[in-house]
Structure 1
């Protein structure tokens, strides 16, 4: 891609507007001038967290994005931006067509868009449809004044997450962004990421842990780095349930539980995977039947794992062909799960009389005996009548034990 310097084109092909935008860079907040930039000078940010899973799919299926051909590159990423949230895109496009671009973007002096990829996409489409010139209004950052890639990423996070406006990231794209910035590259600590995105440390810790779990699932299915698979499987909800279940188990058992839940995700015959994982946790993993289940389910886990690890390429199509097509495997998986769920429910029903009696005793135990002696005659008669009913019921229950 031909190197350009937008700052050198000011007053020649780029016009200064009367507007400014307040940005915080290196901890310092200032007003920056806004310019009108011809669309042909700009290109998308391929590290944009909103389209992380779409980029991963393209890399998996077609190889590296060729950034030497700016227009072809922009056309490819353009489609990712639209597809990532078509409703939000259409709303933004209608708004820009009616009122113009109200919120300025942020670009680097080489033309890379840091903030405003969707607005840029809308302007590109309007230009194509109407055949007239449109300009992207944005701050131009001088990267030769000590602004580092880390500073740029901090700014991007702050603009995308920290400002008081809706964040419409797909949850999986957001997890990819968190994983890259905190775990993979170590660009930020949890505390720094929380500060840049206006979140609590605990919230970011949970996002980091869920992101790690997502990566472990992809490794389990032999699809490392193929984040789009997690998006296509809608794994945000199920992964949240897996996290909750794992926290209630000892470290010694967590790996076995995690692999069992991963295998059940792939072999489930239930439509709502989030509810399914929650059910397995409540009715099996968090009960006395957990060990028996893990022992019995071990063959299912191994077959799921081995089947996908044997494949050179794993994608959604491979999963459907290799796992979904194994009717006997799916049948065995679901039969084991249903059997253990039913066993737990039978145990619960069997123990229910004990639970009810325990609660009844606790209620009786709260009665103040001295208050009984101070009751009036009418209350004493009512109390005596109820007490006789209780004694009669207790006698009947005792007789049932001998039946």
Structure 2
């Protein structure tokens, strides 16, 4: 099969499998991306994401990851929300879960289809293939921009003229020589809506992000206590953040995603914080089976929920906080202390401190009691 015919077959089969966008990039290295990654790592902006610093040369050059690759096929699946992504932010008694995590783990959904696409291509045109969905040192967003799926906006995420900011990405590496598509040009212009929308000022400059200040990093990747200076900005976001995505004016052209496995579950559109704060490990695992939320574990998740409770301004949560002060996880106890300092009266906080501080053996939690007493 000639390269152009193979590419045409690839696009037809991708559409049949539910992919909304399919474009091809050449696998050459990108000196610009290598330099940006090196600067990012040198500044320590990867935080605790140590895997980002591992073998950075493989991230900048697909051929370093797989020397036999001759073309990179970038696939996109639209996951645009059917309702306002910001709606739950106005309900402090509820938690806000990032749109991408409101149903099945997209890695599982997309990877299986990528394998089917690769098998179909190999059967018709020959060659070998490998598929990646955020599972290897592949810089999906720069590759998607090079392939023409969109461009990297000022928030560093991909923006599509057809789907706005709501695209899941997957990559199919193949040994076939396929004709590359033209890259998309930048259409951000003077707009800075995404930068201004960030609740924690995570963008030091346009086209740069400091994940250590990003709500998505803090609520998902960060394992320890969250920086006290950033907790108020988290609001009631309990898993990820969509603010910079939702603010993009290009979303006016987006449509709701059509993949039912990725459509929002009713119980995750605006889950009650009171229910989530009471989850033990077994209940957490049962509730989030098959969800990307499950991977952060119960303790980190409840930490996030308690920060949201502390930001709620609702003293009705105090009985729940009292129970979490005795939680088996120091991470949870520390978040409960902070929330208590936000919602309790000074006398109530001092009484709780007298009951719990003497028995507390975790240094971080003891610091929370001390700093909470200063704050209240």
TM-score by length of 1: 0.27
Please identify the structure whose Cα radius of gyration is greater.
Answer: 1
TM-score by length of 2: 0.29
